[in-house]
Structure 1
Amino acid sequence: MNVLNVSLKVILIITVGIQSVYSSEAAVCEYSYNEQNKVYNYNLAAASSNFPHGILSPDGYYKVSSNGTVVWFQLCDAMIFNHDPPRCFDCFGCGESAQCGMGCSALMSNNLFGYPICTTIGLTSTITTDLIDKRNPHTGLLVKMRHDRPELNCSLSVYVICDSKQVQGPTTLETVNLCNYATQLRHPSACAQIVSSSSNGFGWFGTLLIIILCPFGGYLLAGAAYRFFYLGIHGIDIVPNLEFWANLPHRAQSAIMSLVRRFRGHSKDHRSSYSPVAF
């Protein structure tokens, strides 16, 4: 029994851990934007038939270089290196020397005195998502990550362009200033799912039905409870005013037929008021 309890606790801990990781990843990768009567919903990590990992690189990282500077990064999650890990010195904050590149979301390498020196420029906990252009939400998303240190603040900005027809990895790397970089890629995951916000809610007809049905339902429940608990009535007879509700369809039919007869009678009188004209 003790072994079973321990096993159940271990499974529960693992499940909660997986759910927490997934929730944090989804929170980073999801973004919504309201414009007039439209809601633009983005989910960079959403799986599809062509992209089971969403925008996350299936290799565990993206890589881009320019003028001797190399940047590795991953979107929405930390990097994983199953092959070709960074070979550089000083991986502080990103796996250290033993697992360089693991544990952060962006790493930069520069040659200094002939040696590749690594600098962490993005942590997973600092990833933020915003629109590239709020005047044109179809453009895509801007994913930012950073690593703040006492002596130097570094960051990486990734412009993810919406492209439903192709995937294009990062090919250019721009140095914004001393330790701030920017790159761009194209991916269908950056395209928004657009829904109309004007159709939300019940509308006036649904609201009217709720106003009518709620008091009616309360009346039936209260009446049935009173007849059951205080009058001791059981079965179908607990429905209050049962005879009235049973005869309601017949009464409605009689009222409709009466209106039809009145209308027909009025039409006949209206036609008989005209006298024939002799030519």
Structure 2
Amino acid sequence: MIGLGAGALAFRLIGERLATMAPPWLGKWLPFVGSGGVAGVADSASFDYMRDGKVDWKKAGLAGILSVAIGFAGLGVAQYGGKLIGPAVVSKINDIPLTAVSVFKDGTTSAPKTVGDTPFGAWLQKFAGKRTDKSSSPKFDFAKVRKEGIKKIENKYGGVVEGESNKSSVLNPRDIRFMQSTISNKTGDYTVFNNANTFSKNPSKIFELEPIRVWKDGKGNIWTLDHRRLGAARLAEIDKIPVRWVSKAEVYKDAWKLTTKVDGKSVILKNGDGTTHIIK
């Protein structure tokens, strides 16, 4: 352990001196990575000496090279690929052993020296701790988006025209607009494409489903609250779809769906494999 501390300190001091003559990136990393390499050599040598009474310099050298390689690789990822580093990745790196378990003459054993025991490992752990997990996105604020949707319905589209609430009728799918900007192809066991194929072969099948909910704005445009069935009907190119007119209260309850950027004339279908299809 004395060799470990002395070796690391010596290289760190020498490395800092050499860093002033090296390129900026190397100057920044050299003292840190180099001290880890010397620590690996010193630690391996110390264990060998205490266990066997002699030093296996070949193994010690390999331990040092491995420490330096891991140090440079880790710093490179941390510097240029921060988005790829997470607590789980850091944990895996820090658990990499640099020396094998040593059994001493008195029967005691040493815990394996790992990357996490080096200065680099300690620094990497701090880096991971400061990183925010971007995969945990903020919760969707329904209240806020719903309020914005209501405002848009009133200011841009003239509000909701009532009078036929809860009445059922039949409309042409092309006369109905989409509130949402995107929809998913698959939900449960059904997909928009499969439904479209069914409706195309037998248009009457759509009448076996619940009518889609629709409403009319102050400018005379008709909108839906149920987008996937309308999307399937559009793809199938059928000319009739059962609808149920809803109240202003029901429209405003689902006002958060109003995200269209094209006044509802089309919707983007997400296929689930990274590709999309525009339904017009």
With the length of structure 1 as denominator, give the TM-score of the two structures. 0.23
**Radius of gyration: which is bigger?**
1
Larger helix fraction of residues: 2
* TM-score for both structures, normalised by structure 2: 0.22
Q: Which has the higher strand share?
A: 1
Kindly indicate whether structure 1 or structure 2 has the higher relative contact order, using CA contacts under 8 Å at least 6 residues apart: 2
